[in-house]
Amino acid sequence: MPDTPRMMTAIVASAPGGPDVLEAVQRPVPAPGEGEVLIKVAAAGVNRPDVLQRMGNYPPPPGAPDILGLEVAGEVVSLGHGVEGVVQGDKVVALVQGGGYGEYCVAHHTNTLPVPAGLTMEEAAALPETFFTVWTNVFDRVGLKAGERFLVHGGTSGIGTTAIQLAKAFGAEVFTTVGSDEKKKAAEALGADHVINYNTTDFVSEILSITGKAGVHVILDMVGGDYVEKNWTVAAVEGRICQIATLNGPSEQVNFSRLMVKRLIHTGSTLRARDAAFKAAIAQNLKENVWPLIEAGKVRPVMDSRFPLQDAAEAHARMESSGHIGKIVLTV
> Computed from CA positions of residues 25, 28, 34, 35, in that sequence, does the dihedral angle turn out positive or negative?
positive
Q: Helix, strand, or coil here: 201?
A: coil
Residue 193, CB half-sphere, CA atoms under 13 Å: how many? 17
- pLDDT for position 143: 97
What lies within 8 Å, CB to CB, of 70 at 6+ separation is: 45, 47, 49, 50, 95, 96, 97, 98, 100, 128, 129, 272
For 243-280, the pLDDT digits (tens) are: 999 988 888 888 899 999 999 999 999 999 899 999 99
pLDDT in tens, 92-121: 999 999 999 999 999 999 999 999 999 999
Tell whether the model's pLDDT for residue 2 goes beyond 70: no
Which of these CATH numbers, 3.30.930.10, 3.40.50.170, 3.20.20.140, 3.40.50.720, describes 131-268?
A: 3.40.50.720
* Model pLDDT, residue 251: 84
Q: End-to-end CA distance of the chain, in Å?
A: 20
Q: Does residue 286 have a pLDDT over 50?
A: yes
β partners of residue 253: none
User: Which run of H or E residues covers position 8?
Assistant: strand 7-13
Is the model's pLDDT at 85 over the cut of 90?
A: yes
* The predicted structure's pLDDT at residue 119: 97
Q: Quote the pLDDT of residue 322.
A: 86
- Picking from 293, 294, 289, the residue whose alpha carbon sits closest to that of residue 139 is 289
Q: How far is CA 253 from CA 25, 180, 215, 233, 234, in A?
A: 44, 28, 21, 14, 17
Longest Cα–Cα distance of the chain, Å, equals 66
Residues 6+ apart with CB under 8 A from 261: none
**Mean pLDDT, to the nearest integer, of 76-100?**
97
Span 184-224, pLDDT tens digits: 999 999 999 999 999 999 999 999 999 999 999 999 999 99
Q: What's the rounded Cα separation, in Å, for the pair 101 and 68? A: 5
Domains of the chain: which residue ranges?
A: 7-127+272-331, 131-268
Q: Is 320 helix (H, G, I), strand (E, B) or coil?
A: helix
Mean pLDDT across 296-323: 96
Cα 10 to Cα 51: distance, rounded to the nearest angstrom = 16
Q: Above 90 in pLDDT, residue 231? A: yes
CATH architecture of residue range(s) 7-127+272-331 = Alpha-Beta Complex (3.90)
Strands of the sheet containing 194-197, edge to edge, are 194-197, 173-178, 149-153, 216-221, 235-243, 265-268
Q: Are 74 and 40 in contact (CB under 8 A)?
A: yes
Is residue 1 over pLDDT 80?
A: no
